[in-house]
Amino acid sequence: MSILLSIETATEACSCALIKDGQVLINKEDHIGRTHSSSLGIFVSEILEFVRENKLKLNAIVISSGPGSYTGLRIGVSEAKGLSYGLDIPLIAIPTPKIMAWIVKNQVESNALLCPMIDARRMEVYSTFYDSSLNVVRETAADIVNQNSFANLLNDHQIVFFGNGAEKCKKELTHHNAQFLSNIIPLASAMYALGNEALEKKVFVDVAYFEPFYLKEFVATVAKNKLFNV
Specify the CATH class of 97-181 in words: alpha beta
Handedness of CA 197, 200, 201, 205 (dihedral sign): positive
pTM of the model: 0.92
**How many Cα neighbours within 13 Å face the side chain of 180?**
16
DSSP 126: E
| 146-169 per-position pLDDT tens digit | 999 999 999 999 999 999 999 999
**pLDDT value, residue 217:** 59
**pLDDT value, residue 221:** 44
Closest CA to 174 of 149, 152, 196: 149
In the chain, residues under CATH classification 3.30.420.40 are 3-96+186-225, 97-181
Question: In Å, how far are 19, 34, 59, 91, 93 from 122, measured between CA atoms?
Answer: 36, 19, 40, 34, 28
Mean residue pLDDT across the chain: 93
* Domain 3-96+186-225, CATH: 3.30.420.40
Helix (H) or strand (E) holding 114: strand 113-121
